[in-house]
Structure 1
Amino acid sequence: MDNTLLQSRINFPGMKKAVFDLLVQHQLMDPKLDYTKHSASQLIDFGRHSGRITHEIEASVWDTIVAYETEGMHGAALEDGAAEVLDALKSHYTLVILTNNARSAAIKALNETAIIHSFDQIAGREQMTMLKPSPSGIHFILEQYPDISAEQWVMVGDSWIDGKAAQDGGVSFIAYQGDQQEMEGHGVTPVAYIGHLRELLSPGILK
């Protein structure tokens, strides 16, 4: 959703640094770890795997993340062509949002940008057991639509964490303005790279 449909201003590098600093402060993370190579959700999982994270510490981490999300999503604009493309696709495809953001924050942003009506389902982090790049969210969506096989779904996203979740969930992935070197560095192989959302309307790009 962020930087795919919405021009999010979430400071993801700052968010990761804040999460890392909190975990280091509570001695749940090696301070020498290169946190820039991991997503915020992966850093949280590292903290959990230490076996020493408490409910209070994890709650403070999520409070920090929510603060960054709220600030960054406020007044977010649509990506160029987003409304047009959604209008063209919604009568032919099942459209689902899968975001690591809180579902309530996603719904608020989609309402503010007047595109929420285009979607059949909105899945936030509450619907996952682990955040992307885990395929947990993909599995949740597949369970909601048992008549649509994994091979029939296509995920569109801008980040390697989207692509990794899709691949590990058995779903094709299209990279929107994605960094090919970063994708390849994380073992992600999109079926296509696109630079504009309108390319999704090109013949043959979607199943």
Structure 2
Amino acid sequence: MTTILIVDDDPNILKLVSVHLTEVGYKVFKAENGNEALEVLEKEKCDLAVVDVMMPYMDGYSLTKEIRELYDIPIILLTAKNQIEDKEQGFQSGTDDYLVKPFEPKELLFRIKALLRRYDKQPADSIITIGNTTLNKKSYEVHIGNRTILLPLKEFELLYFLMSQPKQVFTRDHLIEHIWGLDFEGDERTVDVHIKRLRERFSKLTDDFQIKTVRGIGYLLEAAQG
């Protein structure tokens, strides 16, 4: 699972960003200042950092320089300032992108996805196994025992996403956003069709998991009890 570090001394921003990122499948770590952020980075593998500029103890520019020296991860700076000099200072510190407050959470998501693609960060757990079923995101193959199955891309990504977070309920909107993207022009039936195909394929092949409908909400994947 891709992991995002959010650093901001405003608890409301921390909560807002954390909720939106968690909803689309990211794992989130939070820090209220630069010192806390560096402590998190020492203990946890993070794939990207979202850093506020104006913070006590260590401002965002200084933290960005520290992160850049120690870790090879993309950084997005958040700031209430919109002066060209501030942007220049941010980029000189080593940030990859810059977002001015107030911002739309969806815009932050766009920028995170774009930066992760640019850095080509695969999740550390690119191989997921439940029972005898294994999904490999590097080869996009499904292995069940000795069988290898190649799925259409969106079916694979949907199954991988659900399997990476078993027992977690996702709305159709969240699944569309994560698998098809925010600019997708189809509707919720697309999710239903793909879920139906996955059920038809795997009900004959394995009892390792079931994709269950949560009425009025969406879907979850449940692993068989071993």
Q: Which TM-score bucket, shorter chain as reference?
A: 0.3 to 0.5
More helix by share: 1
Q: Which has the higher contact order (CA 8 A, sep 6+)?
A: 1
Query: TM-score, structure 1 length as denominator?
Result: 0.33
Which is strand-richer, 1 or 2?
2
